Structures are given as structure tokens and as C-alpha cells.
Structure 1
């Protein structure tokens, strides 16, 4: 097994933006270029913490171990393919999505890659339920944590509580949008943890440790936490470990985009962790909040596409958007500072320009 210090798939500027301080293994999707509900594999954002492993399907093994299992076991792809196959349409969103907005709102950047709102995507993930895999090794009563570990160069790992690990839609994915997992997205097997931060969906899965006690790692105690003046430390963590992602809307416009005058359709997407979006409201310039049109499908744990019609005068304009979910959560006007720049979900705003066609 070797490791590659970058991203394998082509990264045309038409589809991707490199976030500042993002490193060679991070790239975000230009949402304005998405053609439909699902994010095509070749347009899906990439977030990797370490160099990417080059693995052969024939040699891959998944090791199951820990004091909450009746026995240790090693499984290969053939073993997994004997289990019931399931498919889920779910979002994967980096906890740092929209991190660049902290610099805009607070006058200083939070640590980490300065993502816009494109560190998110929705795909159909196909594979097997994690609970069916754990059952092969005899899951004992009293299991508390499952710690998945990747085969990347740094062995990225982040624990799950047992109830989330056993959920219907927590799966080991072997395919993405009907194709074998691309190498950048975890080939040959990755976790997909519905509604949680993207870091929970460990790529290049190689090991599962199941324990009766906490299996904390750096990635849920010193990073991927909400830490700062408004977030007191919890247990071994420097703040509050992040689990479910908050309600958030995205606008499918590049900052400072230029649009021709006349009737225009503006579009966006909205999601809410494990929940379902029930409304998206928009405000143009200093106008009143109005309801955007939601389109099908609207899948809990994924996203909904929305749109609005407008006819604006030439000049600079601002569109604001806020989403509400089925649990009553709505995007706030402001968010509190956190040191790691995670879970930004204040009202989304984009400034754009309408150009007078007659001046051409």
C-alpha cells in the first residue's frame, strides 16, 4: 500500500474552488455548477486529513476488535457482499463548511481551511449496514463506543456512540451514485453516518474497535469540537464534541456574480443534519422575508433544492436565505465564535450584480 499526497480526480476550476489554507487534499464544490439533486462523483468536494492510500480491492481487509465483541474478526469485500445490500441518499458535510464567514463576521479567521459553502454534497451511497457487520463478530451487551479507523497515512479515527453505529442508515458504503467508491472518496469502503459531521464518515475504512468504554481520539476532543468562550469544556474535550450538523441554506451564486437584467430564477439548497427542511425564506436587499419554492425530493439527512423568481433593476443586490427544519430549528442572524470555525449556520448572504443588457 502506498499513499498519495494529493487528489486523484481532475479538478477543473469550472467545478471546484480551492479554499485558502486548504492544503493539497481539500477542494470544495461550486454549487452553482451542480446539474441536479445528486452531486456527481466528479464534482463532489474532497476533504482528507492525511495522504490518500492507494488500495487494492483484492487485498483489502476490515479488522473488527474490542472488548465489546465476542471475537476478533477480519473481513474482506466478499464477506461484506454476503450481507444484505442497502442504499441511502444522504449528505456529507464538512463541519467547517462556511468557515470563511467567521472572518467576515468577526474580523479574524477561525483556524483551518477557509471553506465557502461548497464543502457539502449529496450522493446515493450503497453498501451494508454497520450493525450487520458488527453482528458477525458477536456484539455484546454494554457496548458503548465504536471507533472506525481509516487506512490513510495518519490513521484518521473518530468514535461513534453505539446507538448511532446501530442506526438503520449508518452504513459501510462500497458504491457512490451507482459506481464503486472513487479513491478520493474512500475506495474500497467508507462509513456514511447520516446527519453527522463529515469527519464521522471515515474513509478508507480498515478497522473497527468496539468497546464498553469511551474511545476518544484527538478528532473528537481537540478538533471537531465547539470550543471557545461560549462553549465550556466537556470531559476530555476542549469544548463540545460535534455530532449532528445544524440547519443551513446555500445559495447557488458565486460571490459578486454578474447576471443579465430581466426575469431571473435564483436557486439554492438547504439541509439540516438528520432532519428535514420544511421551509426556506429569502430576502432581497432590504425587503421582507418571503417563502422560496421547495422542490422534490426533500429527503431527511440529505437536502432540498429551492428557487425563487425575481426581476431586479441593474446594480448591486444582496440575497439572504434562511432555512427551517421539522424540529423547529432555524438559521440564526448570528452565531457565536468558536475556535475551530465549525458549524457556521447564520443567515446566508450573497452579493451579486445585475447588468443592464441595453448598455452592451
Structure 2
């Protein structure tokens, strides 16, 4: 069982792969190894831009500042624990999830960590509403942006519009799947911003600034934007700042996997930012599209598990999957290039092999 530089939890190879060379603090979940609806803490992907801070709960404070607050305020962990406790089941997905497929589709890679499809997970997050915390300092009329800032070495920060910050399901999480937040996932407190890119859910939260003006940072103007020849610059940004994540399907099978020939059940997951997936369709070997079975739960802002029962002969097969949500959004045949390699959600496609063998062969590693 191995550790990766800068990541604290064990990262066994059967559960993770690394999208970067070197010591970057990124680890991708192998979706084929997920046991159920929720992603266990030990298998949840890790994405950090800077060194992960080691913080003590007894020393931690959250500072509330800004010209759109009636007063500045500081809260300890015990102070937060006095507020009404809420729980939400939500996905956190990196905007660069599946970025590696840009290289496959366009012949050259987009910039950034070359994630496969596993920079995503669903957990039950428990904590307090961000709106309840901000109310303690008095949010004034005319508030425009809330800027959460982390306590990591680079003080990662990315703004939220006031309406999103005050939404009922935007929370400061103190626990993940019933356990205190692991250090890799933001201990002792992090934001969970439902349906938005993972970068909005700032970890190791240390400060919240509430302003009447825009509080833009590098992370919503020069990165985590859709930038390139087909995207206009918006304001200070090099393109279109990313907010809500798009509809996407995932397969609980790795490219190049080997399975028994004959009757089999193919499985996966599908999600759509703040929406709810209402249909998943599969196409095997250029055949007709057929509806997969959707299973419960199917939680908006999280994902739904799907399955397809089929009979397959020995040999190589190609599976295509597309999902559609309750707003009519559907995975496209292809995506438009963007320089940062974000929001890849073209129809999912993997190849796998069925073998006539008495012994099952485990999934091959992701290439």
C-alpha cells in the first residue's frame, strides 16, 4: 500500500491512479472498484493545487470579513457546531475530469493534469449552511460576491455569487460520510457547492470575504475557464468562467478490461451538475441505442447508478454511453476544444474484451 507525495491517506494501486508525473497532489479514483452509491472516504479522488496543510481543530478559526457585512466576525469549530446541522449527498467533480480524452480526440493534450474519468465522487457531507454562518456577521443589501479562501500554502480562493453562496445546499462541511473530514479532503472545514466545479468547494476553509464588488482571482479568470478560439473573453477572464458542471456518464469498467463471454451486466453512473439524470442510453459495437436501467437513489446534484444486461461473444467490444438530464441536456457527439481542457463530456466510449475462460481476469490498468 503506497502513499503519494503530499497526500496523507493510503493510495493502493487497485483503488487509484495518478494523472500527473512528479509529486503533484492528485490521485484519481478507479471507478471500477467502487462498491456502492457513495464513494468511501478511502477511495475518494484527491485534487489539491498546493501543499495540504496540517491544521489543529483547537486552533482553527474562520474569519468573516468584507464591506458587505455589518461586522467582522471570527468563529471557532465549537461555534460552528452550535449552528443547525444539515447533511447533503452531493458530487464533487473536478472541472478537468476526463481531460485525457482531449488528446485522444484532438491529437494533442490540453494543458493540466491528464485525468481519466475518475476525478469525481459522491459523499454525504454534513455541516452547517453557509447562509447561517454569514448571517452571524449580517449580510447587507448589495452584497455581490463571497470569496472563500483556503489555508493551504497558496491560499486557494475562488468567488461565488451571493445567490449561490446563500443557497440552502451550499454548506460548510465538517464531516464526510459520517466521519470528521479527512485531512486530504479539507479538515477541519470545507465548502461544498452543489453542482458546481470542484474548485468552488474550497478546502481547509479559513476566511470568507463578502463584498459589494467582484472579487475575482486567478482561479476564475486564468484557469477553470472555457478559453480558446471558440470562446469569448468575459470581463477579466481569458474565456468563460466555469460554474455548473455538465451532464456526463461514467462506466464502472476500465478501458481494456477483460470479462467472461456470455451473459453479463455492464454498470456505471451518470450525473449532471445541479440537475437530475432521467435517461442513460448504451450502444454496443455500433448497434442500436438502448435504454439502461436506472437505480435508486437518483439524487439531483449527485449521480444515479445504471446497468445494462446483455449477452456478448468472445472478442473485442466497444461500449458507448450517453446521459440526459431533466433540463434536456444530453451528452454531445463531440466537444469543442478549450485550452484548459475542462468540461469534457462527449459521449463516453470504452473498449473491452470478452474471453472464453474458466477463470475471470481482473480489469486491466487504465492506459
Q: Same fold (TM over 0.5)?
A: yes
- Where 1:53 maps in the other structure, the secondary structure is coil
Give the alignment's TM-score, normalised by structure 2. 0.96
Matched, 1:101 2:79: no
Partner of 2:246: 246
Q: Does 1:258 align with 2:258?
A: yes
Aligned in 2, Cα 1:23/1:101: closer, same or farther, shift over 3 Å?
A: farther
The aligned residue for residue 365 of structure 2 is none
Once the two structures are superposed, what CA deviation does each residue of 1:44-83 show, in whole Å capped at 9, x if it has no partner?
0000000000000000000000000011111001110111
On the 8 A contact 2:5/2:25 being kept in 1, the answer is yes
Please report how far the alpha carbon of residue 313 of structure 1 lies from its aligned counterpart in structure 2 after TM superposition.
1.0
Q: Distance in 2 between matches of 1:359 and 1:277?
A: 36
For the residues of structure 2 that align with 1:23 and 1:321, how far apart are their CA atoms? 33
User: Is 1:141–2:141 an aligned residue pair?
Assistant: yes
Which residues in structure 2 correspond to 1:167-182 (within 5 Å)? 167-182=167-182
SS at match of 2:58: helix
Match of 2:363 in 1: none
Please tell me whether the aligned partners of residues 256 and 353 of structure 2 are also in contact (alpha carbons under 8 angstroms): yes
> Retained in 1: the 8 A contact 2:245–2:274?
yes
Q: 1:131 aligns to what SS in structure 2?
A: helix
Q: 1:331, CA displacement in angstroms?
A: 0.1
CA distance in structure 2 between the aligned counterparts of 1:359 and 1:86, rounded to whole angstroms: 47
- Counterpart in 2 of 1:233? 233
CA distance in 1, matches of 2:286, 2:346: 17
Q: Following superposition, which runs of at least 4 residues in structure 1 exceed 6 angstroms of deviation? A: none
- Deviation, structure 1 residue 24: 2.9
Alignment match, 2:17: 17
String of CA shifts for 1:107-150, please: whole Å, max 9, x gaps.
00000000000000000000000000000001100000000000
2:109 equivalent to 1:114: no
Give deviations 1:260-307, integer Å, cap 9, x for gaps: 112111000000000000000000011000000000000000000000
Cα deviation, residue 356, structure 1: 1.5
User: Structure 1 residue 346 and structure 2 residue 346: aligned?
Assistant: yes
Q: Is the 8 A contact 2:249 2:322 kept in 1?
A: yes
Q: Secondary structure at the match of 1:330?
A: coil
Distance in 1, Cα, partners of 2:36 & 2:45: 15
Post-superposition offset of 1:20: 3.3
Give the alignment's TM-score, normalised by structure 1.
Answer: 0.98
The Cα shift of 1:358 comes to: 6.9
Partner residue, 2:75: 75
In 2, the alpha carbon distance for the partners of 1:331 and 1:172 equals 31
User: Root-mean-square deviation (CA), in Å?
Assistant: 1.3
Mapped contact 1:147–1:209 kept (Cα < 8 A): yes
SS of the equivalent of 1:297 reads: strand
In structure 2, the partner of 1:28 is 28
Give the structure 1 partner of residue 326 of structure 2: 326
Q: Tell me, yes or no, if the aligned pair for 1:41 and 1:177 is still in contact at 8 Å.
A: yes
Q: Distance in 1 between matches of 2:276 and 2:115?
A: 24
Q: Equivalents in 2 of 1:282, 1:21: separation in Å?
A: 34
Aligned to 1:313: 313
Residues 29, 119 of structure 1: 8 Å contact kept = yes
Aligned partner of 2:65 in structure 1 is 65
Q: Structure 1 residues 73, 347: closer, same or farther in 2, change over 3 A?
A: same
The question of whether the paired residues in 2 share the 8 Å contact of 1:45 and 1:119 is answered with: yes
Q: Distance in 2 between matches of 1:326 and 1:100?
A: 28
Query: Which ranges of structure 2 fall in alignment gaps of 5 or more residues?
Result: 361-367
Secondary structure at the counterpart of residue 79 of structure 1:
helix
